[in-house]
Amino acid sequence: MESGKQTILIIEDEEAIAELERDYLEQAGYLVKIANDGDSGAERALAGDFSLIILDLMLPGIDGFEVCRMVREKKDIPILMVSAKKEDYDKVRGLGFGADDYITKPFSPSELTARVKAHLARYERLTGSAMQEMSRKNRTVEIRGLCIDKDARRVYVNGEEKIMTNKEFDLLTYLAERPNRVFTKDDLFRAIWAMEAVGDTATVTVHIKKIREKIEINSSDPQYIETIWGVGYRFKL
Ligand code: CA
């Protein structure tokens, strides 16, 4: 990254809006790249090293929802969605596409800059503290009262031990070590059951359910493993 500046990707088909956003963000000290449609936007987002993405919903080619889903599968950087339609907000939230924020057009450039700053700061704080927690003692993972002792293969919630089967332990640890990333059931099945290939993605669902019953206070309102509808699961930071 040039001179330590953070790079933001704007995916926006209206050139005037993209340029306005770019000008303000550059003024605020960021490097900015623009993609004008969903296909090139998704491609660049996945290939590049961006700190944050500003994503328009209505795009030629693949739309913003799909771009968001594709990026979220691979990356946990903040995604700010932008749309002219207020009612899209509920869709963005309800469908769990993994966007971090939503801004309705028209917005003031200073509002955009402020939100970008806030999300970048929050993201750095989260990844920073997650890294610290993991490196403090590599063999344990500790997140919000959940403690996984990898050597002893034991799990504690607020100090109380929860007995896990081998696969439950492996699945929980796999997710907890990669917080905020969304995994499909296929991803998880391949990662945990790879060599045994008996069963299918329903096995993943069953194991997630069992893990939740053990670690969540209320398994229908999970605090640790979140269901991303239509996509899969992620461990909340
Ligand atoms: Ca548009």
Q: How far apart are CA 206 and CA 74, in angstroms?
A: 24
CA 203 to ligand 1 center in whole angstroms? 40
CA 73 to ligand 1 center in whole angstroms? 23
Percent of the chain with pLDDT over 90: 46
Is the link from the previous residue into 109 a cis peptide, with omega within 30 of 0? no
Q: How far apart are CA 119 and CA 125, in angstroms?
A: 10
Q: Which helix (H) or strand (E) holds 233?
A: strand 232-235
Tens digit of pLDDT for each residue in 203-221?
899 999 999 999 998 888 8
Q: How far apart are CA 13 and CA 55, in angstroms?
A: 10
CA 41 to ligand 1 center in whole angstroms? 12
Q: What tokens does 65 get?
A: 């929802």
Supply the pLDDT for residue 139.
Answer: 82
Go through the domains of the chain in sequence order and give each one's CATH number. Answer: 7-133 (3.40.50.2300), 140-235 (1.10.10.10)
CA 61 to ligand 1 center in whole angstroms? 11
Strands 52-56 and 232-235: what pairing?
Answer: unpaired
Q: How far apart are CA 125 and CA 131, in angstroms?
A: 10
Instruction: With a cut of 50, say whether residue 185 has pLDDT above it.
Output: yes
Percent of the chain with pLDDT over 70: 86
- Residue 63: exposed, middle, or buried by beta-carbon count in 10 A (0-12, 13-18, 19+)? middle
Tens digit of pLDDT for each residue in 31-66?
999 999 999 999 999 998 899 999 999 899 899 988
CA 84 to ligand 1 center in whole angstroms? 8
Q: How far apart are CA 190 and CA 194, in angstroms?
A: 5
CA 225 to ligand 1 center in whole angstroms? 33
Q: How far apart are CA 217 and CA 158, in angstroms?
A: 11
Which candidate, 178, 157, 9, 4, places its Cα nearest to that of 82? 9
CA 36 to ligand 1 center in whole angstroms? 9
CA 2 to ligand 1 center in whole angstroms? 29
CA 15 to ligand 1 center in whole angstroms? 9
CA 124 to ligand 1 center in whole angstroms? 29
CA 110 to ligand 1 center in whole angstroms? 20
pTM score, whole prediction: 0.56
Q: What tokens does 35 get?
A: 């993609």
Confidence of residue 18 (pLDDT cuts 50, 70, 90): very high
Tens digit of pLDDT for each residue in 57-90?
989 989 998 899 899 888 889 999 888 877 676 6
Instruction: With a cut of 60, say whether residue 25 has pLDDT above it.
Output: yes
CA 59 to ligand 1 center in whole angstroms? 5
Confidence of residue 1 (pLDDT cuts 50, 70, 90): very low
CA 39 to ligand 1 center in whole angstroms? 13
Q: Which amino acid is at 9?
A: L
CA 22 to ligand 1 center in whole angstroms? 16
Strands 140-143 and 146-149: what pairing?
Answer: antiparallel
